Amino acid sequence: MTKINDETLRTFVGYHLKRSFNVIQSDLIETLRPFDLRMLTYSALVLIVDNPGLNQSRLSQIMDIERPNLVVIIDELEERELITRERVPTDRRSYALHPTEAGRALYRETLDAVTQHEAELLSGIAPEQLEQMIATLKLIESAKRGQA
């Protein structure tokens, strides 16, 4: 099979980020599969457990996804009895999201699995390199949002 030349693409940070994300994503999908969670559903659960009472609007902002797409995720978590939705008394159009005990238990269980997944995946990277990588990624994220 002929080797594909992707040297031009390899000059772009975005290309490396996407390829790295693909590696992380495929491994994380397998890590979350036994818990019947997808990456976005897991992220939403973690944010709700860590921020009880968070409203859907703020959650969609934090996750950087459209509200209609978030509703599907929230519905799934609620159907599995991992969270509850409660009307905000001061704003009847808004719902506060709260984890249930089952949601908190799944959070603890998955956190261990995801932490182990990341430790194994990044085991070849020195701690100082990892810190620098995270700092650089935060700079990229901040620059996009005009916060650099």
Residues 15-26 pLDDT 10s: 999 999 999 999
Does some domain include residue 143? no
Does some domain include residue 130? no
Does some domain include residue 102? yes
Does some domain include residue 28? no
Q: In Å, what is the CA distance from 148 to each residue of 57, 113, 133, 138, 139?
A: 24, 33, 16, 9, 7
Between 53 and 145, the higher pLDDT residue = 53
Does some domain include residue 98? yes
Residues 48-103 pLDDT 10s: 999 999 999 999 999 999 988 999 999 999 999 999 999 888 887 888 999 999 99
Q: What pTM did the predictor assign?
A: 0.87
Does some domain include residue 148? no
Counted domains in the chain: 1
CATH number of the domain to which 102 belongs: 1.10.10.10
pLDDT at 146: 67
Q: 10 Å Cβ neighbour count for 115?
A: 11
Across the range 116-136, mean pLDDT stands at 95
Cβ contact 84:78 at 8 Å: yes
- For all residues of the chain together, what is the average pLDDT? 93
Q: In Å, what is the CA distance from 65 to each residue of 73, 112, 126?
A: 11, 26, 32
Which residue from 111, 121, 119 is spatially nearest to 32, judged by alpha carbons? 111
3-state helix, strand and coil shares in percent for the chain, rounded to the nearest 5: 65, 10, 20
Q: What percent of the chain stands above pLDDT 90?
A: 86
Does some domain include residue 68? yes
d(CA 61, CA 120): 30
Does some domain include residue 58? yes
Full domain range(s) for residue 48: 37-113
